[in-house]
Chains A and B, each alone.
Chain A
Amino acid sequence: MKNIEVKICSGTTCFVMGSSFLSELYEIIPQKYGDRVTVKPSLCLGQCSNSDKHSKAPYVKIDEEYISEATIEKVLNILDKKVCGNE
């Protein structure tokens, strides 16, 4: 089974747009998924300057996929689906 990697952007834009509230994920994810998912912070993922008119920060990267306007619920929902799909 492949390990899922979650990276939470802690670049300036993401941080002020709410990624500081995502820090709870560092506790929730290991509790919920054990070693099936690893979660770590990341320096600027570079997404904030790529987006079109309005920034969709904060960004979270799950494997190769970027999640814009990330919230704890949004990230957990995607992880639930991925973990189920992996099994």
Chain B
Amino acid sequence: MFIDIGCSQKKKYNQNAYGDYFISKRYKDTGRVIAILSDGLGSGIKANILASMTATMLLKFIEAQSDIRVACETIMNSLPVCKVRKISYSTFSAIDCDEDGNAKIVEEGNPQFLWIKNNEIQEPEYKVITSKTFTNRHMHLYKINLEKGDRIIFCSDGVTQAALGTKELHLGLRREGLIEIVLNKLKEEPDISSDDLTRYIVKQVEIIEPDHKLKDDTSVACLYFRDPRRAMVFTGPPYDMEQDNLYATSFYNFNGKKAIAGGTTANLVARELNLEIQPDTNLNVGKLPGISYMKGIDLVTEGILTLTKTAEYLETGVAKDDAAGKLMNFLLDSDEIKFMVGAKLNQAHYNPNLPVEIEIRKNVIKKISNLLEDKYTKKVDVRFV
């Protein structure tokens, strides 16, 4: 199973910093995923510092400890108390799970998470652990087994208390309201990605708030257990020309989505497999060459310029609707991405007249794969041929 992680946040109205913090880490070798959502007391910069400190420390603790319970208990026992409000500085929800579906979840102060199986809410049993140092602090410990199709949704109290005090929802949205929003959306779009679902929920919360002004920081995080969406990118001609046919065939027979980044590579695949290439004139805008079409291949772009631009888009998160934007969407719509990188040098790129933007393919691929792994929590495999 693949764990699709998504989080969406909106700041409290008129604040310039987020008071909630979400962090997640995927461990490629073991298939383990740790994710934490923390809500800092108050709002703005102060809350931001409290929440980010709690979440990052907790991540490190869980990572180091074999037991999430010990890690969370340590944090719960040591969180300082706010002098004004006499409550702890931050609340948190943490999950430590793996791709086999084993999950341990701890909550301290945050609203109870949702576990959705077959579009129904599950009510798992939990153990209450009371802090030894602060008796008003309790954490809930869950041990559950997740199956394919299951979703876990965490949220900050900005969601459950949305529209609090209004005529229509004087007790706020509450857990029931959130469940209704989520289940209705899942009926409409059963396979919706975690990113899209969390964005949708936050949008709904904003809509029900009077004047659409959020009264508290609003965060939703989702973990969706499903089959991975596989993709392969073939870029650059292979070192050994005699193997061209072998690589072209193995690329074409790959079970998943396929993209080619490179004119020479596209020509090679077309030649070896007797396919036709049709360049598209419409997208030849701005500073990038356009895309082309080939039967059986989802996306064909130019190579190094497009890849360099894609790396830039992935870094900033903002993309134009050009060939690199299309390649970025192709990558982000996949979970497991294989890069087949040809190691043959393109002699024409080593011309001193050429602008310096022409980078070495290996470096650009390395940059893209690091970004996909670290920033977008994808599983990436790079193979040089």
Contact = CB atoms under 8 A, between A and B. Distances in A.
Given A15-B289, A48-B348, A57-B348, A43 B354 contact: no
The range of chain A's interface size is 20 to 34
Interface in B258-282: 263-264, 266-267, 277, 279-281
B184 interface: no
Interface string B295-317: 00000001111000000000000
B349 A12 contact: yes
B264 A11 contact: yes
B302 to A, nearest CB: 6
B356 to A, nearest CB: 10
Contacts, number: 75
B353 interface: yes
Specify the main secondary structure of chain B where it touches its partner.
loop
Contact of B279 (A41, A48, A54): A41
A17 B353 contact: yes
B263 A49 contact: no
Contact of A10 (B263, B287, B349, B354): B263
Interface string A38-70: 001111101011000011010000000000000
B351 interface: yes
A17 B346 CA distance: 15
Nearest to B270: A43
Contacts of B357: 16
A86 interface: no
A26 interface: yes
Contacts of B279: 10, 40-43
A20 B263 contact: no
B290 interface: yes
A13 interface: yes
B358 interface: yes
Nearest to A16: B355
B347 interface: yes
B349 A13 contact: yes
A49 B290 CA distance: 21
Nearest to A23: B284
B354 A16 contact: yes
A86 B280 CA distance: 29
Contacts of A46: 267
Contacts of B358: 12, 16
Given A41-B279, A43-B279, A49-B347, A12 B290 contact: no
A5 to B, nearest CB: 13
B160 interface: no
7 contacts: A16-B354, A20-B287, A20-B289, A43-B263, A44-B264, A49-B347, A55-B351
